[in-house]
A and B are shown apart, each in its own frame.
Chain A
Amino acid sequence: MKAANMIRLIIDSRLENVSLVGSAVRGIANTLYIDSTTSYQLELCVVEAVTNEIKHAYHGQAGHSVEIDVLLYPDRLTFKIYNRGKSMNPAKVAPFSFDPSNIETLPEGGMGVYILQSLMDEVHYKSINGQNILTLVKYLKKPG
């Protein structure tokens, strides 16, 4: 399906730039017929994904670019996030689990992938010729 609209966001790989992408995503989400919690969750997913790429694909180093394509279709919103850093192995991501009554087991990290998989309708990851592409898809409900 052809995208009705596409916006490309490009930032340098610094954590302080992630909020720029987040604000842009929230701005785009706010033009759609979605509630404020869903809008926050879309921003959250893109922020988690871009933060992970800066921390893990680029080891927190500045000077690399992270590109985010935002594709708006009539029935869904798709984010494609590109980097040329270290690729990840989705199968090696530890499952998110803890015992709420046992303080020692509470996680201080490792929540990002769980958040993406919980809030997005589709999550795909692939590496082609040194380029890593994470695709996040959210289906849009029709207004009314």
Chain B
Amino acid sequence: MQLKHNNVEDVLIVRPLEKRIDASTATEFKQKMNEWIDSGNRRIVLNLSEVDFIDSSGLGAIISGFKKIGNNGNLVICVVKESVMSLFRLTRMNRVFDIYASENEALEALSGKA
């Protein structure tokens, strides 16, 4: 699974370059996120602009990263396609994650947090 990642100050931006995050890629995605969190990244922006399909395994992997960071930082999401957003709404994860329309908005929101 290809995941583009770069740092803007202390914020890690992760952008999957795949159209799908499903059961066949969720484990690898979760492992990568775990590695980044273990190496000290506590503020993460997940940019889903390339992703047009997420299933519950993919969503579970994102939730896993969010839980791992816990209260020591935040994982926010940006540029979510409408179809994928319907899964966040259905599972009420839109009430759990901060979701932004653009990467800049997500970065600004994270930078403003203590």
**What residues of chain A have their CB less than 8 Å away from a CB belonging to chain B?**
15-16, 18-19, 22, 36-37, 39-41, 43-44, 47-48, 51, 54-55, 96, 98, 100, 103-104, 106-109, 111-112, 114-115, 118-119
Inter-chain CA distance A119–B95, complex, in Å, is 19
Residue of A nearest to B20 (CB): A19
B71 CB-CB contact with A under 8 Å:
yes
**Known contacts A103-B67, A106-B66; A37 and B83 CB within 8 A of each other:** yes
Q: How many pairs, one residue from A and one from B, have CB atoms within 8 Å of each other in the complex?
A: 78
Inter-chain CA distance A57–B64, complex, in Å, is 25
B56 CB-CB contact with A under 8 Å:
yes
**Contact (Cβ within 8 A) B24 A36:** no
**What residues of chain B have their CB less than 8 Å away from a CB belonging to chain A?**
20, 22-24, 52-53, 55-57, 59-61, 63-64, 66-67, 70-71, 82-84, 86-87, 90-92, 95-96
Whole-angstrom distance between the Cβ of A112 and the nearest chain B Cβ:
5
Could you say which residues of chain A place their CB within 8 Å of the CB of B24? Answer: 15-16, 18-19
**Contact (Cβ within 8 A) A108 B67:** yes
Most buried by B among A16, A96, A108, A109: A108
**Known contacts A22-B53, A51-B55, A115-B90; A100 and B96 CB within 8 A of each other:** yes
